[in-house]
């Protein structure tokens, strides 16, 4: 099995050639219904296949949200496995949105699930929660580095409730989110053109209020259904905006099941992002 180039380099190349966008594959029950599908495994399969067919050959990143597949049990996970493989085959980078986080010994098993080549759910990158302590992520960070994969750690999430934890300030005056960002920057030290260890920072924030210069990608969910727009990105991310990967799920997915309409919606976001970030 050939080792992949570092994720950060693969992501930078994908953003340069395909534009800057991550589309989430979030098969909400309401979206299945809106697409004229049943809220069952067959509906899930058709939905996910359609999104992959429409977008995997053109958007930089596809981000399946594992929860929407897990709710159908083993059959749903089988759909997720196929979706990941087909999306990667068509050229998209797959960011598995599973937000795993646990004590180190268990984190190692999560890392093997998503980041070990040959695993049925092998993905290019994984979202993780650092709230059992950043050090507990070590097995995932190490396996990702070894295999050319990426990690996205939650720093400042798009939901308002996140701030009570993430904005909390320690005795040394540093916020929890800033500590996560500082540790990510250390993981990315010296990496070119971009590190592989990213942060999740919601596009919905009034302001970041932290140092985002981590030399790694910044996944920005919250664009679209949660109220943020491409125009918010320069304000929230400042000079780090060039490393931002905006993430949209429902505001693209609602245009299905038409493949053409899904493509047009994704392209409209890519164009908006390029207008504001190249201005
Ligand atoms: O890690 C994420 O992707 C994520 C982090 C965050 O802070 N906020 C957030 O909304 N997300 C995910 O991004 C997606 C947002 O979906 P839409 O609001 O439909 O665009 C969902 O899959 C969320 O689980």
Predicted local distance difference test score (pLDDT) of residue 121: 98
How far does the centroid of ligand 1 lie from the alpha carbon of residue 172, in Å? 31
pLDDT at 3: 83
Rounded CA-CA distance 32/60 in Å is 24
* 243-254 per-position pLDDT tens digit: 999 999 999 999
Say what the pTM is. 0.98
Ligand 1 binding pocket includes 221 (Cβ within 6 Å): yes
Distance 190 CA to ligand 1 centre (A): 29
Distance 32 CA to ligand 1 centre (A): 18
* The predicted structure's pLDDT at residue 143: 98
Residue 106 bridge partners (DSSP): none
State the fold for domain 7-274: TIM Barrel (3.20.20)
Nearest-10 Cα torsion for 43, 45, 51, 55: -170
Tell me the CA–centroid distance for residue 41 and ligand 1, in Å: 22
| Choice from 21, 22, 23, 24 to test ligand 1 binding pocket (greatest atom count within 8 A of CB) | 24
CB of 158 shorter than 6 A to ligand 1? yes
For a mutational test of ligand 1's pocket, the pick from 25, 96, 247, 262, i.e. the residue with the most ligand atoms closer than 8 A to its C-beta, is: 247
Within 10 Å of residue 1's Cβ, how many Cβ atoms? 6
Per-residue pLDDT, 159:
96
Ligand 1 centroid vs 221 CA: distance in angstroms? 5
CA distance readout (Å), 157 to 37, 205, 229, 267: 31, 8, 16, 25
Q: State yes or no: is 75 an active-site residue.
A: no
- Residues of the chain with pLDDT below 70 are 1-2, 279
pLDDT for position 77 = 98
Query: pLDDT at position 277, please?
Result: 84
In this prediction, residue 190 carries a pLDDT of 97
Rg (CA), the chain: 18
Complex ipTM, two decimals? Answer: 0.99
| Segment 178-202, tens digit of pLDDT | 999 999 999 999 999 999 999 999 9
Residue 127 CB less than 6 A away from ligand 1: yes
Active-site pick, 63, 75, 99, 254: 99
pLDDT of residue 1: 60
Ligand 1 atom 8: the closest Cα is on which residue?
158
């Amino acid at each position: 099995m050939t080792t992949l180039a570092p994720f950060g380099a693969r992501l930078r190349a994908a953003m340069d050639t395909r534009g800057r966008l991550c589309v989430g594959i979030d098969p909400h029950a309401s979206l299945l219904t809106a697409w004229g599908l049943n809220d069952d495994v067959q509906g899930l399969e058709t939905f996910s296949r359609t999104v992959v067919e429409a977008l995997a050959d053109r958007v930089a990143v596809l981000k399946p949200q594992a929860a929407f597949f897990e709710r159908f049990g083993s059959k749903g996970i089988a759909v997720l496995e196929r979706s990941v493989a087909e999306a990667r085959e068509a050229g998209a980078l797959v960011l598995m949105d599973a937000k795993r986080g646990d004590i180190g010994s268990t984190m190692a098993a999560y890392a093997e699930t998503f980041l070990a080549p040959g695993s049925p759910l092998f993905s290019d990158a994984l979202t993780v929660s650092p709230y059992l302590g950043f050090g507990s992520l070590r097995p995932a960070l190490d396996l990702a580095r070894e295999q050319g994969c990426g990690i996205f750690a939650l720093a400042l999430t798009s939901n308002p409730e996140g701030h009570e934890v993430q904005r909390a300030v320690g005795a040394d005056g540093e916020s929890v989110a800033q500590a996560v960002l500082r540790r990510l920057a250390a993981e990315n030290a010296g990496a070119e053109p971009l590190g592989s260890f990213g942060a999740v920072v919601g596009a919905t924030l009034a302001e970041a209020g932290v140092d985002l210069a981590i030399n790694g990608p910044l996944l920005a969910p919250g664009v679209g259904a949660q109220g943020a727009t491409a125009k918010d990105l320069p304000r929230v991310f400042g000079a780090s905006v060039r490393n931002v990967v905006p993430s949209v799920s429902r505001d693209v997915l609602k245009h299905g099941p038409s493949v053409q309409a899904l493509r047009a919606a994704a392209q409209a976001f890519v164009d908006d992002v390029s207008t504001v970030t190249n201005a």
